[in-house]
């Protein structure tokens, strides 16, 4: 299986930026003298989602390296209202930079624009709000991720010889308004359309909560055992213990097809146990690292390479689940 | 001037009417009923005022105590939450964050987020539960952020304490970084060697105070407010007053006395109680006007009741007085009628005292009528007796004989004697008639009998003598006229003239004794047998009359006149001793007054 890396051009650009920053930092006398360190606040969709662990850690390390203060603030559970309140609080506190993972792009546009108007450098990461005045987006190209998931589904269906068979398909997503999830579903549907015959039965939501995701999947399969395929727009259902999903486990053994986003350690573990036949991963560490570094650049009025910084994808299937597991760090946060 | 007086009379109350029994009864009843009623109303008013004030005070105290208890319970809950500051994950987080171990702290970071959010979920008023380390890194329900410790009052308070001072610190109210109004409580966190690692803090929504106090009312407009240690209002039902000085409510300069105790300030009744751990004060403020209004309502009701009672009492008193005095009025009108017509009768309708009075009045009228009849009869009788006495005195043969004596004297040219006789006779007749007056002075009565004796003695040829001894002191008193003359006549014809002796003596004495006047007519004639004396006295005392021819008519006539005029205690008594003479004692009352004879004489 092929593992996509960061494009060499991006790496080179970043290196030039970093170097020019270091060299020019002392020479930039036109900037106002700061009385406090630069504060960058990252606002995830929620605090309880372990998927952000790697983003947070990478961001903190990057912040340390950049000698800036990093804050990680957000609602404990996905809650766009609280997210808006938090961004407003950050505007009041006049932090230097904000990076938002948008749980509802439409509702966050206004507060993002307000922050930008207040002179704060605002970026989005993971989930974009393209209609806002944010400075840049840093993260996965979610449409591409959806397309890759679709391609994986087509490949599995064709390998089983079910190309012409109508497959009862269910989608599990975190929320219906998150830009990243909408893009993934759009990419998935476009990649499968005309190639295989997927009959979408339901779009389940879980508010990006691991427990809710597993519970909803179990409940749906209990009621609809005739389901043939699942597309998981995020790996929330597999972050809990596999024993918590006995019906799904049985459904998988009975030949159910599942393709999921994310390649975290527990997701890979679940996939290795047969819970998914293909995974499409995101580079969360790069997401954290890039968002801090580019925000620092923005704060320091340095040029940015693009307003859309793709952090790349990681494709996994049954052939490389084991190999990838060896490269991942097991979670010990719960 | 007369007009002014008449107008004033019309305007001024008729005081004579105030003296009526009905008015007195009305006034008495009204005084007896209204004074206790008014006193009772005043006493009730002040008693109610006192009770109301005490109730307001008690209620305010109860309310404030309840608020304090609720806050204390809440704060003690917060204290128990803050006891979690020594939790293993918190201590590990603090230690790792201090050495900036990013990778190692991820586990504790996620764990703490979960724990702190669980605490927040447990108590809905909590806005933030957070741990802050010495570097200003704060982990709370909303993630990890950076705090400027120099601006964090709560941190400064706790950092300056010793490990022994483990009490909860308060700060606020203030605005948190999310724009919410909160107050903060916190405790210091110490390491293994009592080294200060940071603090655990809880931000509580200020609305908590509103939730506890908002619905509490002291009366209609009274309320509870909470004031911080700086005199700033941290809760008030009017949100725009939050953050303002308590002086706005209590007036400046406000001082500190409002923090505890009960007192009044202007139109406000204030009770304060300190909330010890927070150094706040719970203040209950009631509107005094409300109390006054309540009392005004009570007073109105009282006055209405009193007014109603007064009207009722007045009506009842008027009816009662009318009912009670109506028989009296009837009695009065009957008495007035009786004054003009004694044949009037009072209609008696009741058996009470007034009824008895009516009956007694009727009895009295009956007696008066009887007495009147009796009096008329007696007067008639008296006149008859007087006429008879007069007829007895002025007997024709007395006049003829006297005139013959005068003729004889004229024939013998005894002119001086004639003159004396005529003068005596004239005086005799003048006093006898006395111009119709019934009462004459004793002096005139004595003069009358003296003339009579002079005439009779002259006629009878000095066969007897007479002596008159009357105390000068009684001569100005009055007596019925012509009392002594019949007695003297008896003494002459049945006494001294019937005696063969020529030394007859008639003695007339007059004197005062024991408030009465006594006359004695004594003769030294042959006297009267004892049985005849007894019969005469018995006849005089109202016994059977004497037989005709036995004489005594003159004595009885005199006696009856005296009794009729002065009563039975007066009259005359006869005593006699055969061979020695007879004495008639006449007893009269002391009567002062002008002589009729004199007055008539004066007029002439």
Q: Which tens digit of pLDDT belongs to each residue from A249-297?
A: 999 999 999 999 999 899 999 999 999 999 999 999 999 999 999 999 9
pLDDT at residue A192 above 70? yes
User: How far apart (Å, rounded) are the C-alpha atoms in residues A219 and A171?
Assistant: 14
Q: Are A174 and A131 in contact (CB under 8 A)?
A: no
Please work out, in degrees rounded to the nearest 5, the angle formed at the alpha carbon of residue B461 by the alpha carbons of B456 and B467.
55
Residue B82: HSE in the Cβ half-sphere, 13 Å Cα cutoff: 25
In this predicted structure, what is the pLDDT of residue B595? 39
More confident residue, B338 or A138: A138
Q: Is B71-201 a domain of CATH 3.30.413.10?
A: no
CA distance B205 to A121: 31
Sequence-ordered list of residues with C-beta below 8 angstroms from that of B235, at least 6 positions apart, any chain? B206, B209, B210, B213, B224, B225, B226, B242
Instruction: Give the right CATH number for B394-603 from 3.40.50.300, 3.30.565.10, 3.40.190.10, 3.30.230.10.
Output: 3.30.565.10
> Rounded to the nearest 5°, which phi and psi values hold at B137?
-80, 125
Which whole number is the average pLDDT over B553-565?
A: 81
Is the peptide bond prior to B173 cis by the omega test (within 30 degrees of 0)? yes
Q: Which chain A residues are Cβ-neighbours of B113 within 8 angstroms?
A: 47-48, 76
CB-based contacts of B42: which residues, under 8 Å, 6+ apart? Answer: none
Q: In what order do the strands lie in the sheet with A313-317?
A: A197-205, A166-173, A229-232, A257-261, A278-282, A313-317
The candidate with the shortest Cα–Cα distance to B249, out of B230, B236, B239, is: B236
Rounded to whole angstroms, the Cα distance separating B480 from B450 reads: 16
Choose between A136 and B297: higher pLDDT.
A136
Q: In the prediction, which pLDDT does A8 show?
A: 53
Residues in B closer than 8 angstroms to A61, CB to CB, are 102
B228 in Cβ contact with B279 (< 8 Å) = yes
Q: Closest-CA residue in chain A for B120?
A: A76
Nearest CA to B145 among B155, B135, B157? Answer: B135
Q: For testing the chain B interface, which of A38, A50, A56 should be mutated: the one with the most B CBs within 10 Å? A: A56
d(CA B130, CA B201): 5
Calpha distance B230→B37 (Å, rounded): 54
Identify the closest residue of chain B to A53 by CA–CA distance: B106
The shortest CB-CB distance from B177 to any of A60, A89, A334 is to: A89
Which residue among B102, B142, B143 places its CB closest to the CB of A57? B102
Please report residues of B whose CB lies closer than 8 A to that of A41: 145
Give burial (CB, 10 Å; 0-12/13-18/19+) of B20.
middle
Rounded Cα distance between B347 and A72, Å, is 116
How many Å apart are CA A171 and CA A184, to the nearest integer? Answer: 11
Q: What is the phi/psi pair of residue B276, to 5°? A: -50, -55
Q: How many whole angstroms separate alpha carbon B234 and alpha carbon B242?
A: 5
Interface check for A164 against chain B (CB to CB < 8 A): the answer is no
Indicate the range of A139-148, A279-288, B175-184, B304-313 predicted with least confidence.
B304-313
Beta-bridged to residue A328, according to DSSP, are none
**Closest alpha carbon to A130 in A208, A185, A183:** A183
- Closest to A280 measured CA to CA, from A167, A171, A141, A179: A141
- CB contact under 8 Å between A89 and B113, yes or no, is no
Residue with tokens 């009842």: B316
A314 — pLDDT class (breaks 50, 70, 90): very high
Q: Are B171 and B78 spatial neighbours (Cβ–Cβ below 8 Å)?
A: no
B416, burial (CB in 10 Å: exposed 0-12, middle 13-18, buried 19+): exposed
Query: Which of these ranges, A131-135, B340-344, B362-366, B425-429, has the smallest mean pLDDT?
Result: B340-344
| CA distance to A89, B88, B275, per residue, from B114 (Å) | 22, 14, 33
- The pLDDT tens digits of the residues spanning B349-392 come to 777 777 788 888 888 888 888 888 887 777 777 777 766 666 56
Residue A171: beta bridge partners?
A203, A231
> Are A73 and B114 an interchain contact pair (Cβ–Cβ within 8 Å)?
no
CA distance B594 to B589: 16
Token readout for A11 is: 């790496």
Mark yes or no for CB contact B143/A47 under 8 Å.
yes
Q: Let me know: does A148 contact A186? Beta carbons within 8 Å.
A: no
**Chain A residues with CB-CB distance to B117 below 8 A:** 47-48, 76
Give the pLDDT band (50/70/90) at residue A81: very high
pLDDT of residue B593: 63
Among residues A112, A105, A181, A158, which one has the least CA distance to residue A277?
A158
Report the chain B residue with the minimal C-alpha distance to residue A36.
B148
Q: What is the pLDDT of residue A5?
A: 47
- Identify the burial level of B364 via C-beta atoms within 10 angstroms of its C-beta, where 0-12 means exposed, 13-18 middle and 19 or more buried: middle
Query: Helices marked H in B218-352 — which ranges?
Result: 247-250, 288-340
Please judge whether A334 and B110 are an interchain contact, meaning their C-beta atoms are less than 8 angstroms apart.
Answer: yes
Confidence of residue B128 (pLDDT cuts 50, 70, 90): very high
pLDDT above 50: residue A211: yes
Measuring CA to CA, which residue among B533, B520, B519, B517 is closest to residue B574? B533
Q: What are phi and psi of B439, to 5 degrees?
A: -100, 135
Task: List beta partners, residue A168.
Answer: A199
Q: Is A173 helix (H, G, I), strand (E, B) or coil?
A: strand
Six-digit token string for A296: 């620092």
B243-271 mean pLDDT: 76
Token readout for A77 is: 């559970």
Q: Please state the domain extents for chain B.
A: 71-201, 210-290, 394-603
Interatomic CA distance for residues B149 and B155, integer angstroms: 7
CB contact under 8 A, B106 and A73: no
pLDDT tens-digit profile of B405-458?
888 888 888 888 888 889 888 888 888 777 767 788 899 899 989 998 988 888
Instruction: List the beta bridge partners of residue B503.
Output: none
Q: Collect all residues of chain B within an 8 Å Cβ-Cβ radius of residue A60.
A: 102
Which residues are registered as beta bridge partners of B511?
Answer: B518
pLDDT of B214 > 80? The answer is no
Partners of residue B147 in chain A, C-beta under 8 Å: none
B113 with A48: Cβ contact below 8 A: yes
Regarding predicted confidence, which is higher, B64 or B302? B64
Distance (Å, whole) CA A251 – CA A46: 30
Note whether B71-201 and B394-603 share their fold: no
The pLDDT of residue B113 is 93
CA distances from A2 to A313, A320, A324 (A): 10, 9, 12
CB pairs under 8 A between A and B: 64
For CA atoms B126, B229, B263, B244, give the dihedral sign: negative
A64 touches B at CB < 8 Å: yes
- Contacts with A34 from chain B: Cβ below 8 Å: none
Residues from chain A contacting residue B111 (CB–CB below 8 Å): 333
Residue given tokens 């009516």 in the structure block: B358
Tokens of B258: 């409002």
Number of other residues whose CB lies within 10 A of the CB of residue A96:
22
| Helix/strand/coil for A323 | helix
Cα–Cα distance between B220 and B49 in angstroms, integer? 18
In a 3-state reduction of DSSP, which class is residue B7? helix
Pairing of strands A308-310, A197-205: unpaired
A306-A307-A312 Cα angle (round to 5): 75
How many whole angstroms separate alpha carbon A141 and alpha carbon A138?
Answer: 9
Instruction: Tell me which residue of A83, A92, A82 sits closest to A115, measured CA to CA.
Output: A92
Note whether A333 contacts B178, CB cutoff 8 Å: no
* Shortest distance, CA A10 to any CA of chain B (angstroms): 26
Report d(CA A101, CA B432) in Å as an integer: 159
State yes or no: pLDDT of A15 exceeds 60.
no
Residues B545 and B562 sit within 8 Å (Cβ to Cβ): no
Between β-strands B233-235 and B223-227, what pairing exists: parallel, antiparallel or unpaired?
antiparallel
The answer to whether the CB atoms of B102 and A69 lie below 8 A apart is no
Which residue carries 């004594």 as its tokens?
A: B522
With 50 as the cut, is the pLDDT of residue B104 above it?
yes
Choose the closest CB to B179 out of A50, A53, A89: A89
Measured CA to CA, the distance from residue B363 to residue B343 in angstroms comes to 12
Residue B342 has a CB neighbour count (10 Å cut-off) of: 12
Give the CA-trace dihedral at B391, B394, B400, B404, to 10 degrees: 170
| Cβ neighbours for A287, distance < 8 A, ≥ 6 positions apart | A55, A58, A125, A126, A138, A139, A140, A311
CATH number among 3.40.50.300, 3.40.50.720, 3.40.47.10, 3.30.450.20, domain B210-290: 3.30.450.20
pLDDT at position A70 is: 95
Per-residue pLDDT band for B252 (boundaries 50, 70, 90) equals: low
CA distances from A153 to A149, A185, A274, B189 (A): 6, 13, 15, 54
> What domains lie within chain A, and their CATH numbers?
8-139+283-312 (3.40.50.2300), 142-282 (3.40.50.2300)
Alpha helices in B83-161 (DSSP H): 88-98, 102-122, 153-159
Bridge partner list, A280: A261, A315
Indicate the pLDDT class of residue A202, thresholds 50, 70 and 90: very high
Contacts of B176 in chain A (CB under 8 A): 89
Confidence of residue A156 (pLDDT cuts 50, 70, 90): very high
Do B102 and A64 make contact, defined as CB atoms within 8 angstroms? yes
DSSP state of A133: -
Segment A59-76 shows an average pLDDT of: 95
Rounded to a whole number, what is the distance in Å from the CA of A54 to chain B's nearest CA?
A: 9
| DSSP H or E stretch at residue B490 | helix B484-490
Ramachandran class of A141: left when φ > 0, alpha when ψ lies in -120 to 50, beta otherwise: beta
The CA-based dihedral angle spanning residues B528, B529, B535, B537, taken in that order and rounded to the nearest 10 degrees: 50
């Amino acid at each position: 299986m092929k593992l996509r890396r960061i494009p060499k051009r991006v790496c080179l650009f970043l290196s030039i930026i970093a170097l020019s920053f270091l060299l020019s930092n002392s020479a930039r006398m036109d900037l106002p003298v700061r009385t406090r360190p630069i504060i960058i606040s990252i606002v995830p969709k929620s605090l309880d989602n372990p998927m952000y662990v790697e983003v947070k850690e990478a961001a903190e390390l990057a912040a340390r390296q950049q000698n800036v203060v990093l804050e990680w603030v957000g609602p404990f559970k996905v809650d766009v209202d609280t997210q808006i309140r938090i961004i407003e609080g950050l505007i009041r506190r006049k932090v230097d930079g904000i990076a938002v993972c948008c749980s509802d792009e439409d509702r966050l546009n206004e507060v993002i624009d307000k922050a930008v108007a207040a002179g704060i450098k605002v970026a989005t990461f993971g989930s974009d709000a393209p209609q806002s005045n944010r400075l840049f987006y840093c993260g996965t190209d979610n449409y591409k991720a959806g397309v890759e998931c679709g391609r994986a589904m087509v490949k599995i269906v064709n390998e089983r010889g079910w190309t012409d068979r109508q497959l009862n398909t269910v989608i599990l997503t975190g929320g219906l308004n998150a830009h990243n999830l909408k893009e993934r579903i759009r990419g998935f549907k476009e990649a499968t359309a005309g190639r295989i015959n997927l009959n979408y039965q339901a779009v389940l939501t879980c508010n990006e909560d691991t427990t809710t995701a597993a519970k909803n999947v179990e409940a749906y399969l209990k009621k609809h055992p005739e389901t043939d395929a699942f597309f998981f727009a995020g790996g929330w259902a597999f972050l809990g213990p596999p024993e918590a999903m006995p019906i799904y486990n049985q459904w998988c053994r009975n030949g159910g097809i599942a393709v999921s986003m994310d390649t975290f350690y527990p997701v890979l573990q679940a996939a290795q146990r047969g819970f998914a036949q293909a995974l499409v991963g995101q580079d969360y560490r790069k997401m954290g690292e890039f968002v801090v570094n580019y925000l620092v650049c923005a704060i320091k009025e340095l040029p940015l390479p693009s307003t859309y910084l793709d952090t790349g994808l990681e494709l996994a299937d049954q052939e490389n689940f084991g190999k990838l597991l060896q490269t991942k760090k097991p979670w010990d946060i719960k | 001037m007369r007009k002014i007086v008449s107008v004033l009379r019309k305007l001024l109350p008729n005081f004579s009417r105030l003296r009526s029994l009905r008015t007195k009864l009305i006034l008495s009843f009204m005084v007896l009923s209204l004074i206790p009623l008014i006193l009772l109303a005043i006493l009730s008013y002040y008693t109610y005022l006192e009770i109301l004030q005490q109730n307001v005070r008690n209620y305010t105290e109860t309310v404030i105590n309840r608020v304090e208890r609720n806050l204390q319970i809440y704060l003690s809950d917060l204290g128990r939450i803050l006891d979690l500051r020594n939790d293993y994950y918190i201590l590990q987080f603090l230690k790792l964050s201090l050495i900036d171990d990013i990778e190692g702290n991820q586990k504790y970071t996620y764990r703490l987020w979960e724990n702190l959010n669980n605490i927040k979920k447990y108590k809905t008023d909590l806005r933030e539960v957070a741990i802050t380390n010495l570097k200003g890194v704060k982990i709370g329900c909303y993630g990890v952020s950076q705090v400027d410790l120099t601006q964090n009052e709560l941190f400064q308070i706790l950092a300056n304490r010793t490990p022994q001072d483990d009490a909860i610190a308060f700060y606020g109210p203030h605005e948190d970084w999310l724009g919410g109004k909160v107050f903060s409580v916190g405790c210091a966190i110490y390491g293994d060697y009592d080294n200060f690692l940071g603090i655990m803090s809880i931000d509580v929504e200020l609305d908590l105070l509103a939730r506890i106090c908002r619905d509490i009312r002291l009366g209609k407009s009274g309320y509870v407010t909470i004031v911080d240690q700086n005199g700033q209002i941290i809760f008030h039902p009017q949100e725009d007053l939050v953050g303002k000085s308590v002086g706005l409510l209590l007036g400046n300069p406000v001082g500190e006395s409002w923090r505890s105790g009960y007192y009044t300030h202007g139109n406000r009744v204030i009770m304060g109680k300190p909330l010890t751990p927070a150094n706040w004060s719970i203040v209950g403020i009631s509107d005094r006007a409300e109390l006054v209004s309540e009392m005004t309502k009570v007073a109105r009701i009282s006055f209405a009741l009193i007014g109603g009672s007064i009207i009722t009492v007045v009506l009842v008193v008027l009816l009662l007085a009318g009912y009670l005095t109506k028989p009296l009025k009837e009695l009065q009108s009957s008495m007035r009628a009786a004054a003009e017509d004694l044949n009037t009768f009072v209609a008696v309708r009741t058996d009470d005292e007034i009824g008895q009075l009516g009956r007694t009045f009727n009895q009295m009228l009956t007696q008066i009528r009887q007495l009147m009849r009796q009096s008329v009869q007696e007067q008639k009788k008296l006149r008859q007796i007087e006429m008879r006495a007069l007829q007895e005195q002025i007997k024709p043969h007395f006049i003829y004989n006297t005139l013959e004596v005068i003729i004889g004297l004229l024939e013998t040219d005894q002119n001086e004697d004639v003159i004396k006789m005529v003068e005596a006779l004239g005086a005799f007749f003048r006093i006898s008639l006395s111009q119709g007056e019934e009462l004459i002075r004793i002096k005139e009565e004595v003069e009358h009998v003296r003339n009579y004796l002079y005439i009779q003695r002259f006629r009878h040829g000095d066969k007897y003598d007479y002596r008159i001894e009357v105390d000068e002191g009684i001569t100005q008193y009055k007596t019925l006229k012509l009392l002594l003359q019949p007695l003297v006549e008896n003494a002459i014809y049945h006494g001294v003239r019937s005696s063969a002796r020529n030394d007859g003596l008639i003695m007339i004495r007059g004197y005062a004794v024991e408030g009465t006047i006594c006359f004695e007519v004594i003769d030294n004639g042959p006297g009267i047998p004892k049985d005849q004396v007894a019969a005469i006295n018995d006849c005089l005392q109202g016994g059977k009359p004497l037989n005709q021819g036995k004489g005594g008519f003159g004595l009885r006539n005199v006696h009856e006149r005296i009794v009729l005029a002065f009563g039975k205690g007066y009259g005359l008594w006869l005593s006699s001793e055969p061979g020695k003479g007879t004495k008639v004692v006449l007893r009269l009352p002391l009567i002062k007054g002008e002589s009729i004879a004199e007055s008539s004489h004066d007029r002439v």
